[in-house]
Amino acid sequence: MGFDAPTPIQEQAIPSILQNKDLIACAQTGTGKTAAFLLPVLHKLIDRKSEKLDTIVIVPTRELALQIDQQLEGFRYFTGGTSIAVYGGGEAVDFEKQKKAIISGVDIIIVTPGRFLSHLNLGYVPCDSVRHVILDEADRMLDMGFFEDIMRIFKFLPKEKQTLLFSATMPKEIRKLASKLLVDPEEVNIAVSKPAEGVLQGAYLVYDDDKTELTKHLLTNKDLPSVLIFCSTKSAVKSLEVELSKLKFDVKAIHSDLEQGEREKVMLSFRNRNCQILVATDIVSRGID
């Protein structure tokens, strides 16, 4: 898996998780935080007798749900266990597949709040067996307005459980959420979110109407093999894709109007360097690895 030694977040978080303590962890993307909560949970699953639902990982986007499920598949190669990503945006057959997995018994589910609430409201999720609940990218979920959905989800869950909250930043809203959901938590603060080290950054002061022209200028006559552009709205994503396509750039877009299969196809094309430029809404930014 590429680990020679534990990262700081893994070194500090894993002992607390193995001791069944609630945890607030502040660590930015790229620090190894996903392994920090998946590995100890998998360790605790090894001697478990029940085949019912054990762990719920709540994330803001379907992309992040799929990414974590893929990592989990690698981690549990030697430990066993089952998992499924539960998210919206797919066809009815996807919902039924998720429902069947939940009812038949799955150890870990990685869920987006809205879709998971749909399953919970239908009454077949075996919440009484849940021992671990993990909120990943908690600050992003609050930015997207999921506070009430998260509170509704927790009403279905047993009081006796371990709750882990991971966030890239620690604003007062996160403290408020933690105070409602966690019991006497330990805290790990690796680094308050800051720009990733080693990345050259620049800022341009520009009017909204001039952003597209500036983007074209920055891309023209540059040797840029792979470019990722984030926009704040899907209409901006669509517009920029059209404008760049007119200039014969090799560009694809990803936004919420695409079916999940289409989104995965676009992401695969970009990962494999089959397209030069990916334009995406910023809500998927933390689900892109």
Spans of all domains in the chain: 8-189, 208-287
Return the pLDDT at 286: 55
Residue 108 has pLDDT above 60, yes or no: yes
Q: Each residue of 200-221: pLDDT tens digit?
A: 788 899 988 899 999 999 998 7
Confidence of residue 191 (pLDDT cuts 50, 70, 90): low
CATH architecture of 208-287: 3-Layer(aba) Sandwich (3.40)
- In CATH terms, the superfamily for domain 8-189 is P-loop containing nucleotide triphosphate hydrolases (3.40.50.300)
Q: Determine what percent of the chain is predicted with pLDDT higher than 70.
A: 93
Strands (E), the chain: 23-26, 55-58, 83-86, 108-111, 132-135, 162-167, 186-189, 227-231, 251-254, 277-281
Beta-carbon contacts of residue 168 (< 8 Å; ≥ 6 apart): 26, 27, 28, 29, 137, 139, 140, 193, 286
Beta-carbon contacts of residue 218 (< 8 Å; ≥ 6 apart): none
Confidence of residue 192 (pLDDT cuts 50, 70, 90): low
Q: What is the mean pLDDT of residues 34-55?
A: 90
User: Quick check: do 8-189 and 208-287 share a fold?
Assistant: yes
Residues in the chain: 289
Q: Each residue of 115-162: pLDDT tens digit?
A: 999 999 999 999 999 999 999 999 999 988 999 999 999 999 999 999
Cα(159)–Cα(183) distance, rounded to whole angstroms?
Answer: 10
Q: Each residue of 274-283: pLDDT tens digit?
A: 999 999 987 6
The structure's pTM equals 0.75
